[in-house]
Amino acid sequence: MSYLWILATLIASAAQTARNAAQSGLTARIGTLGATQVRFLFGLPFAFVFLWLASIGTGEAPPALTIPSLAYTALGAIAQIAATALMLLTMKSRSFAVTTAWLKTEPVMVALLAAATIGDPLTLPTLAAIGVATAGVVILSTKPETTRLMLADLRPAATGLLAGLLFGVAAIGFRGGILNLPEGSFLIRASTILVLSLALQSGILIAYLATFDRKALIASFGVWRTSLLAGFLGAFASQFWFIGFSLTSAANVRTLALIEVIMALAVSAWVFRQPVTTRQKLGIAVIVLGVGLLLSLHP
């Protein structure tokens, strides 16, 4: 049982990489927000199926929701919506692998935010780790023929880094939602919060799109086959992320999730036929090193 979170995280990482690949292709067809809502709306029915199977398998009914659980889950749900939209926006101008690498700076961004808002100390080793990861971002953000950071390079870097930060906030919110349920095994807790989060996210995005971008909402049903695949992969990945969050700290889960960078490199090169330069590989390696150093300082 103590190592089950490792298996859950590896499965979630593989499913999320596949989901991101499927979802990225929808952006050009139905817009950023239209592609964002696909993950949640088309994933919700699968989440209900997962909860039903978990209830049958454990013999437990879904636990009653508490105010703290609702609040944490709502925080995670909103942060994940924004993070997903920013991720898809970044993928429009940068490769799948590079975007994924920027997302993996999320622990670095969380450490900086914690220092600025709640006074968490930043030690010299922590600052060194942040410096290493930042150097990796600089390598990714400059073109081989120049050492200058151009405005066109900074914009996707900024959206990618902000997406990473918001995914970190979402992880904290979802783990808080799971831990604040009053009862239940890890599986029924994870499945319950998954349904709650996807229901909140679907409701928010349907209301927004119906009001401001009805065309994108309708278009998502026009590509229902791809949308259904992205929704299933999203719900499947989230189910295992939440299982991981229910078994160990979010830091442990997100550390192991760095394996996504390697998976994304493979998808970028073999599926999308996007060239991965030596410079980009170096930048990705340096980011992973910096994030790994930071997490080793904060187990």
Structure confidence by residue, pLDDT tens digits, 210-233: 998 888 888 888 888 888 988 999
Q: What angle do CA 202, 206, 210 make, to 5 degrees?
A: 180
CA dist., res. 47 & res. 40, Å (int): 10
Q: What is the pTM of this model?
A: 0.79
CA dist., res. 11 & res. 39, Å (int): 17
pLDDT at 146: 46
User: Which of 195, 200, 199 is closest to 178 using CA atoms?
Assistant: 195
pLDDT at 149: 47
Side-chain half-sphere of 44: how many Cα atoms within 13 Å? 16
CA dist., res. 49 & res. 107, Å (int): 32
Tell me if 163 sits within 8 A of 90, measured CB to CB.
yes
> Which stretches of the chain score pLDDT less than 50?
146-147, 149-150
pLDDT at 96: 63
User: Which of 148, 156, 47 is closest to 101 using CA atoms?
Assistant: 156
pLDDT at 130: 74
CA distances from 20 to 97, 99, 181, 239, 284 (A): 11, 10, 30, 16, 18
